[in-house]
Amino acid sequence: MQTRTLGNRGLSVSALGLGCMGMSWSYGPPKDKAEMIALLRAAVERGVTFFDTAEVYGPYQNEELLGEALEPFRGQVVIATKFGWAPASEQEVNGRWNALNSRPEHIKQVVEGSLKRLRVDAIDLYYQHRVDPAVPIEAVAGAVKDLIAEGKVKHFGLSEAGAQTIRRAHAVQPVAALQSEYSLWYREPEKEIIPTLDELGIGFVPFSPLGKGFLTGQIDANTQFDKTDFRNTVPRFSAENRKANGRLVDLLGQIAQQKGAVPGQIALAWLLAQKPWIVPIPGTTKLNRLEENLGAVEVTLTADELATINKAASAIPIQGARYPAEMEKKSGL
């Protein structure tokens, strides 16, 4: 497995990480614990060193899962987790944490729970899960800076933050990585975010790099999701929009056929080709999909192929919003 460095703070990870949310939350019922532990350990055996979780996934269950599964590999893997939501006991609505809380005292309280659940002495990468408009980002960065000084956190990250917020946070405590959605069907970060990260020396960790599964080619207008799968509420996943957006998957399929690959591998290879400091974190709960995703690292797209993909993709308007309107600012996913 190739490695990449996130930002200029020396955080070295595998070129592809593993997003772990779906093992416990959001994409249907929680998966079998023993099976997920086996999958996580299989990922390590295949060279994956970068694992992504969050306090809210479950809640708590996903951190506990990673803590148990990855404990034998302490010092060999990098675990990223996230803070920034009010306790479920106070703010849970319809099974989701819907209230932001990045007050410094809250951050310093909840880090203790994450450390315990992950069974680590220090969190490798600690993201603010979503920007909290009620708390100045300087105060958030200052709280994490204190945690770094105390040895409880190694690196500071942000998620879905805007360019100016990134700059303000970085001025207080250098940001190692930004995690935001980025893929061939969501290219908004190319406008301001990627240039800002490039300038400041911050790594980029795209979540949903396969469009929540859509870019794999395994989802079409007739696909039925489990009733607890949050994609049922996503406008982009309406049957009508899935049919329209299938044009992008068709394009990936054409390129994949030429390369002896599959659509998802082309989508990931495209991301990897954008910048050397981009590390996508596709999620999966199946070993064959894990191996398929990791195969993307071996797919090299030429400049001509990248130009062809960009030109063709730009001519395909993606239909539907990526989240319901009320979730767009605070989805946590």
214 near 229, Cβ under 8 Å? no
Least confident among 85-89, 183-187, 238-242: 85-89
Q: 325 falls in which pLDDT band (50, 70, 90)?
A: confident
In a domain, 237, yes or no: no
Q: Name which of 168, 203, 216, 208 is nearest 188 in CA terms.
A: 208
**118: which 2 tokens?**
């992950």
Per-residue pLDDT at 9 = 87
Per-residue pLDDT at 99 = 85
In a domain, 286, yes or no: yes
Could you say which of 57, 127, 182, 186 is catalytic?
57
User: In whole angstroms, what is the distance from residue 144 CA to residue 127 CA?
Assistant: 9
Q: Name which of 161, 143, 162, 139 is nearest 153 in CA terms.
A: 143
Q: What is the DSSP letter of 31?
A: P
CATH number at residue 189: 3.20.20.100
Query: Exposed, middle or buried by CB within 10 Å (0-12, 13-18, 19+), for 121?
Result: exposed
In a domain, 253, yes or no: no
Residue 153 phi, psi (nearest 5): -135, 145
Q: How many CA atoms does the CB half-sphere of 232 hold within 13 Å?
A: 10
CA angle 240, 236, 238 (to 5 degrees): 35
Determine the residue type at 200.
L
Question: How many separate domains does the chain show?
Answer: 1
The pTM score is: 0.94
Q: What is the DSSP letter of 155?
A: E
User: In whole angstroms, what is the distance from residue 328 CA to residue 332 CA?
Assistant: 9
In a domain, 129, yes or no: yes
Of all residues in the chain, the percent with pLDDT exceeding 70 is 95
Per-residue pLDDT at 328 = 65
Q: Please give the residue that has the higher pLDDT: either 26 or 145.
A: 145
Q: 94 falls in which pLDDT band (50, 70, 90)?
A: very low
In a domain, 235, yes or no: no
**272: which 2 tokens?**
């990897």
Per-residue pLDDT at 89 = 60
323 belongs to the catalytic site: no
Q: 26 falls in which pLDDT band (50, 70, 90)?
A: confident
Q: Name which of 179, 113, 178, 201 is nearest 152 in CA terms.
A: 113
In a domain, 230, yes or no: no
Least confident among 82-96, 112-126, 130-144, 218-232: 82-96
Per-residue pLDDT at 316 = 92
b/e map of 131-167 (b: 16 or more CB within 10 Å)?
bbeebbbeebbbbbbebbeeebbbbbbbbbbebebbe
Q: What is the DSSP letter of 176?
A: E
Q: Give the domain extent around 192.
A: 3-210+275-299
The CB-based long-range contact list for 32-41 (8 Å cut-off, 24+ gap) reads 33/65, 35/285, 36/65, 36/69, 36/285, 37/65, 37/68, 37/69, 39/284, 39/285, 39/286, 39/287, 39/290, 40/65, 40/66, 40/69, 40/70, 41/69, 41/70, 41/72, 41/73
In a domain, 7, yes or no: yes
In a domain, 154, yes or no: yes
Q: 97 falls in which pLDDT band (50, 70, 90)?
A: low
Per-residue pLDDT at 55 = 95
pLDDT exceeds cutoff 60 at 330: no
